[in-house]
Amino acid sequence: MLSTTIKSAGARQAVLRARIAPLAAARAVSIWSKVPQGPPVSSPIGARTRSLPIAVLTRSIAGCITEAFKADSNPKKINLGALLSLSPTLPYHVPSSPHPGGPKNAQLTPSSPGVGAYRDDAGKPYVLPSVREAERRVIDDKMNKEYAGITGVPEFPQAAAKLAYGNDSPALGRIAATQTISGTGALRLGAEFLQRWHAGEKKIRIPTPSWANHKAIFQDARLEVEQYRYYNKDTIGLDFDGMVQDLKSAPEGSVFLFHACAHNPTGVDPTPEQWKEISQICLQKKHLPFFDMAYQGFASGDSDRDAFAVRQFIRDGHKILLSQSFAKNMGLYGERAGAFSIVGEDAEEVKRIDSQLKIIIRPMYSNPPIHGARIAATILNDPKLYTQWQAEVKGMADRIITMRKLLREKLEGLGSKHDWSHITSQIGMFAYTGLKPDEVEKVTKDYSVYFTKDGRISVSGITSDNVGHLAEAIYKVKG
C-alpha cells in the first residue's frame, strides 16, 4: 500500500516535471529582456557609490574624470572638473592619463559623478556648525518618527517660503508651499503641476546652457523643453540681448525657467537692472516665471541679495513658481530638504492649488522624509541659530569669492595679458574660464589639472594650497 502511494507520487512528480519543463524553458527569456541598456545617469557628488556592487560601480564611473584623476600620480594634481551640471550636448574631456598607471583613452560622459558640493580650504566636505547644533536639538528632543503630512514637517514649508520671499513679502498669505524631496523633487512637482494645470502649451523654456537635469525633469513630466539664449561664449558673459529677444518672441503666456542666482553651470547672472527689465517683459508677455533657487545665500553670502530676482518679480505682481533647495546653503545634500511654492491670487486660490499639489504628491511618495526638514526648520525658526547659519553661509560664499580673487590675482601676477575679470564677476560654485578645448587638454596633460573641455572649473575644488599650481598651469598654456 505504502509502496504504491510512493510510486504514484513519483509518477505524479514525473508528469509535473514534464509539464513544467517547457514553462521553465520559456521563462529563461526574462520578461525584462527587451529593456535596453540606458546611458549612465549623472549622480551628484558624494553619491555613495562605495556600497554598490563592483560591476555597477565600474560601469558607472568608468572613464570619468574622477577615474583619470585618481589614477594620476602627480602629487600636484587638481580635480576641478568632475562635475555633473553640463548640458549633455557640451563636450567633455578626459585625456589619456599622462602619468604611469593612468587609464588609456578614457572618455568622460555627461553622466560622470563629480564634485557638485562645497569643500573647505583643505578640500574636505563641510558640515555647518549650525546644522550640527540643530541636529543635536532634534535628537535631544527625542521626537517620534511618525509620518509627516503630505506637505511635510509643518514648521518647514512656510519658514522656507519666508526665507525666499522675505519676511514682509506682499505674497505672504497667498503662497501654496510644500516640503519636497530637495530641489530636484520641487522641480519635478512643479513640472507635474504645470503638465496638469497650465492651460497654455505644455512647454517650458530653459536657458542655454542649464543644469543638465532640468531637461530630463521637465521631459519626464511630458513637458516639451525649448531653450532660450543665455550665455555668450565670446564675452564669457550674459547674452542679454539674445535673452530679451527670445522672451519677446515667445508666444504670450509661455513658461520660463530662471536660475534665481548663481546660474549653474556658467556662474553668470543678470544684474538687478537686467532682472527688472526681464520682469517687465514677462509682465507684458504674460509669461509664467518658474524660479529654481538652489543656491540662496551661497552665491553672494547674503540670502536677501540672492533672492533679489524672486522678490523683484513678486513686487512687480508676478505669480511665480519656485523651487528651493537646502542642499548647498545648509550643506544638507543627502537629507533632501527642499520646498516648492506657487504664489496664488488669494487664499481661496491657494487652497485649491494646495489640494492639487497633495493629489500629485500622495501617489508619488506619500510624504517626504522628516529629519533634514526638522534640522532646516530648527535653524530657520530660531533667531539665534538663524543668525549663526547666515554667518556660516557667508563663510562658504566668501571662501569661493576669495578663491576667485586669488586665481585672478595669481594669473595677473604671473604676467598674463588676458582679461580675467569674468573669473571674479561670475558667481557661485562654477566658473567658466574661457579656455578652449585644446587648451584644457594641454592643462590636463601637462599639469594634471582636470576640468571639463568647455573650460568650466569648480571653484569649490580650489584651495589656498593648489591655487598657485592652477594659475601657473593656465598661464603656461594660455599665456
The reply to whether 325 sits near ligand KET by the rule CB under 6 A is: yes
The reply to whether 254 sits near ligand KET by the rule CB under 6 A is: no
Judged by CB under 6 A, which of 292, 306, 335, 354 binds ligand KET? Answer: 292
Grid coordinates representing 105 are 583613452
Grid coordinates representing 254 are 509661455
Q: How far apart are CA 421 and CA 399, in angstroms?
A: 18
The reply to whether 335 sits near ligand KET by the rule CB under 6 A is: no
Grid coordinates representing 439 are 587648451
Stretch that binds ligand KET, among 180-188, 229-237, 379-387, 414-422 (CB under 6 A): 180-188
Stretch that binds ligand KET, among 29-37, 104-112, 181-189, 222-230 (CB under 6 A): 181-189
Residues 290 and 321: beta-carbon distance below 8 Å: yes
Judged by CB under 6 A, which of 64, 65, 80, 84 binds ligand KET? Answer: 84
The reply to whether 287 sits near ligand KET by the rule CB under 6 A is: no
The reply to whether 267 sits near ligand KET by the rule CB under 6 A is: no
Nearer to ligand KET, 343 or 376 (CB): 376
The reply to whether 164 sits near ligand KET by the rule CB under 6 A is: no
Nearer to ligand KET, 326 or 389 (CB): 326
For residue 341, the minimal CB distance to ligand KET (Å) is: 15
- By CB under 6 A, how many residues form the interface with ligand KET? 17
For residue 22, the minimal CB distance to ligand KET (Å) is: 48
The reply to whether 44 sits near ligand KET by the rule CB under 6 A is: yes
Judged by CB under 6 A, which of 95, 183, 289, 455 binds ligand KET? Answer: 183
The reply to whether 160 sits near ligand KET by the rule CB under 6 A is: no
The reply to whether 327 sits near ligand KET by the rule CB under 6 A is: yes
Rg (CA), the chain: 26
For residue 427, the minimal CB distance to ligand KET (Å) is: 13
The reply to whether 375 sits near ligand KET by the rule CB under 6 A is: no
Judged by CB under 6 A, which of 78, 83, 247, 401 binds ligand KET? Answer: 83
Active site residues: 211, 292, 328
For residue 213, the minimal CB distance to ligand KET (Å) is: 6
Stretch that binds ligand KET, among 11-19, 77-85, 126-134, 352-360 (CB under 6 A): 77-85
Q: How far apart are CA 249 and CA 242, in angstroms?
A: 10
Nearest C-alpha neighbor of 177 from the set 323, 337, 66: 323
Nearest C-alpha neighbor of 230 from the set 204, 210, 212: 210
Q: How far apart are CA 432 and CA 454, in angstroms?
A: 8
Strands (E), 182-294: 203-208, 224-229, 231-232, 237-238, 255-259, 288-293
Q: How far apart are CA 223 and CA 216, in angstroms?
A: 10
Residues that bind ligand KET (CB under 6 A): 44, 83-85, 116, 182-184, 211, 213, 259, 264, 292, 294, 325, 327, 338
